[in-house]
Structure 1
Amino acid sequence: MSSRTPLLATAVAALIAGVLPVGAAWAQAAPGAVPTAVLAAAPDRAGFVLTGELQALRQSTVAAQTAGNVLELAVKAGDRVRAGQVLARIDERSAAAGLAAADAGVAQAEAMLANARAQAERTRELKRQGFVSQAALDAAETQLRAAQAGQDQARAGRSQAALARSFAAVTAPFDAVVLATHVEAGDLAAPGRALVTLYAPGRLRAVAQVPSTRSSLARAASTVEVQLPDGRWVAPVSRTELPSADPVAQTVEWRLDLAPEAAAAFAPGQSVQVRFAGAAAAAAGAVVRPVLPAAAVLQRGELSAVYVVQDGRFVLRPVRLGAVQGDAGIEVLAGLKAGERYATDAVKAGLAGAQPAN
């Protein structure tokens, strides 16, 4: 029992001093040598990393084009639909009544046209026989043309009424996946009200908002990569920088199209990392900063620190960190210089009795 007392006292003292995390103190078994490394810049990673999101290359919000109660919502989020498949049905009674009125209008116009045509033919015959004047013939032909125009107008009105009735069945414009539904059965639809949002699967792009101050560096980057939600870094098949900046955020939107095979397993809205790097970015003025592995950093709330080798022992030193550079590590902005030696495992370096291995 007495042999364990010094070890326990050491762990408690370290916790009080704020040097060790709780788990590390109790997990210590014996002092040992901790591997170290020399801090070096990463010129091949010169550049910066931004957080972006995935967006669908083809996405559509299908809206109602007629008013009425939603009788049926035939899909739910996550469903796959085919082009022309019914998504929702809207009460069509009002549209059906309008179509019936339009049919009656067409029948009336056709009857009036037939009567005007017969009247014009009789007037022409009477004019040849000299029983009516030219003015009477002109009036009959004018009535005929008016009746023909009335028929065209009635038929156009019927086409419009038929189109309005067809809006009662809302269909998918292309093969897609349902991203979201915006109504339920019984809700009142109105022209312009969103019903369903769809996107074409497998065609995604990463979108990042690049600060205007870094736009020139992004253009000069020889390598642009996207870290997918599963951790893979992939190169986009094309990249587009929008020609205008956001006047409030002062950022420029970059759109990076992904290969279908790379994006097939993901959905719009997922977060990604976008890395602009390479020698070209460094030549354009990108700051090349030292990079630390994540395991070398000790986090205590908002404080970040690193165990630095001084006079053959570890000394805890606060550091200010920058952007995450993917697998390469985290940028060091202040507190540690290139060429200094540090512990590669901050937890082990914090144990009582830990010594640098080299």
Structure 2
Amino acid sequence: MSACQPPAPAVPFDHRPVPARRRLAVALALGVVAAAAWLSPARAQAPGPEVPVLALGERAVGAGLLIDGSLQAVRQTVLSAQASGRIASLAVKAGDRVRAGQVLAVIDDRATQAGVAQAQAGVAQAQANLANARSAYERTKELRAQGFVAQAALDAALAQFRAAEAGAEAARAGQTQAAVAQGFTRLTAPYDGWVLSTHAEAGSLAMPGAPVLTVYAPQPIRAVVFVPASQQALAHQAQRVEVRLPDGRWVQPASQTALPAADPVSQTVEWRLDLSPADGAAQVPGRQVQVRFVGGEAQRLVVPASALLRRGELTAVYVVTPRADGADGFALRAVRVGASHGE
């Protein structure tokens, strides 16, 4: 029971004349209220938007194994330094296109240049010694023919000549080795492609075996997935294999290969699915794909992809439910989505 309150005092009525401006404002306000009261029933009786409704049912779809994977370039190379020194210049960056034989990075080659110069000087000296030994041998041979020198002198001249020949060969080999070492200071592109990433900067210290940059060829390209070892039988017995590309298209690989050994840690087997040139033309390594091993058909409840409502980790659909007044209403119901079979 509520407590009673004393009546409020009466408010005296003001008999002063109302200005014309205030009378107009009151009239407009009353007109707006009247219009709103007149429009409210019409608005309440307006029909709602038409929502397309679809009766769902089961149909035969491909059954099998669905695994996430990624795209990988078949030809991808990590270029490493083969000489020690500071990186004098890095001519490319990630995303640059390169041509076969193009110089991508140069390591400080002052030491190797000195080695090349030293090897060239050694070759010149060895050739001079060889020419001198040849002349001495020819003279000694003539003197021996005339009987002016003993056979031992001729044998000694011949030995010196052959030693000079060997010295010249060694000098030329040293020159070749110096030229090869000079080439180690330049990293060149092994084929036409793109720079995927750089692992060093100009001024960094390069050591033999240390990666400097990674390049790849855009074609050919493949999808790589890791199939659990427990599912290998299903994957090998699949009637067909399909790859869902990042643009949503399902394609069949041109060829497929399963590595003969499983990873001892993850207990998975790597599958490599080569894409055809047409399917892999616009693809980029690293993008996520899905691989489906279809082993037959099964009856599944299928929902159009356009009917799914995704909010973060929630996936739901609107379901038609009858209301108390007999009309149809809609209720949001969470669902768990299985494999995708197109739209």
TM bucket (normalised to shorter chain) is 0.7 to 0.9
1:212 to 214, 220, 229: 229
**% identity of equivalent residues:** 55
Structure 1: stretches of 5+ with no match in the other structure: 1-28, 329-358
CA distance in 2, matches of 1:185, 1:80: 19
2:273 to 256, 261, 278: 256
CA distance in 2, matches of 1:33, 1:141: 105
**Paired residues, number:** 292
Structure 2: stretches of 5+ with no match in the other structure: 1-47
CA distance in 1, matches of 2:314, 2:217: 44
The residue that corresponds to 1:17 in the other structure is none
The residue that corresponds to 2:33 in the other structure is none
The residue that corresponds to 1:73 in the other structure is 90
**SS of residue matched to 1:213:** helix
The residue that corresponds to 1:226 in the other structure is 243
Task: Write the letter of the residue equivalent to 1:187.
Answer: S
1:85 to 85, 102, 121: 102
Q: CA deviation at 1:79?
A: 0.9
Q: Provide the aligned C-alpha RMSD in A.
A: 3.3
Greater Rg over alpha carbons, structure: 2
1:327 is aligned to 2:342: yes
Which structure's relative contact order is higher, taking Cα pairs within 8 Å and 6+ residues apart?
1
Greater CA drift, 254-263 or 302-311? 302-311
1:239 to 256, 263, 273: 256
Structure 1 residues 289 and 184, CA gap change in structure 2 (3 angstroms): farther
Aligned residues of 2:56 and 2:302 also touching (Cα < 8 A) = no
- 1:83-122 CA distance string (max 9 Å, x none): 1112112211111001111111111211221222122222
Q: How does 1:107-126 map to 2 (within 5 A)?
A: 107-126=124-143
Aligned residues of 1:202 and 1:265 also touching (Cα < 8 A) = no
Aligned residues of 2:116 and 2:182 also touching (Cα < 8 A) = yes
**SS of residue matched to 1:128:** helix
**SS of residue matched to 2:115:** helix
Runs of 4+ in 1 over 4 A off after TM superposition: 32-36, 294-319
Task: Write the letter of the residue equivalent to 2:279.
Answer: A
Structure 1 residues 96 and 248, CA gap change in structure 2 (3 angstroms): same
Q: CA deviation at 1:173?
A: 1.1
**SS of residue matched to 1:161:** helix
Task: Write the letter of the residue equivalent to 1:176.
Answer: G
Aligned residues of 2:317 and 2:334 also touching (Cα < 8 A) = yes
Aligned residues of 2:56 and 2:301 also touching (Cα < 8 A) = no
Q: CA deviation at 1:74?
A: 0.8
1:146 is aligned to 2:163: yes
Q: CA deviation at 1:37?
A: 2.4
Q: CA deviation at 1:218?
A: 1.4
CA distance in 2, matches of 1:220, 1:292: 25
1:37 is aligned to 2:31: no
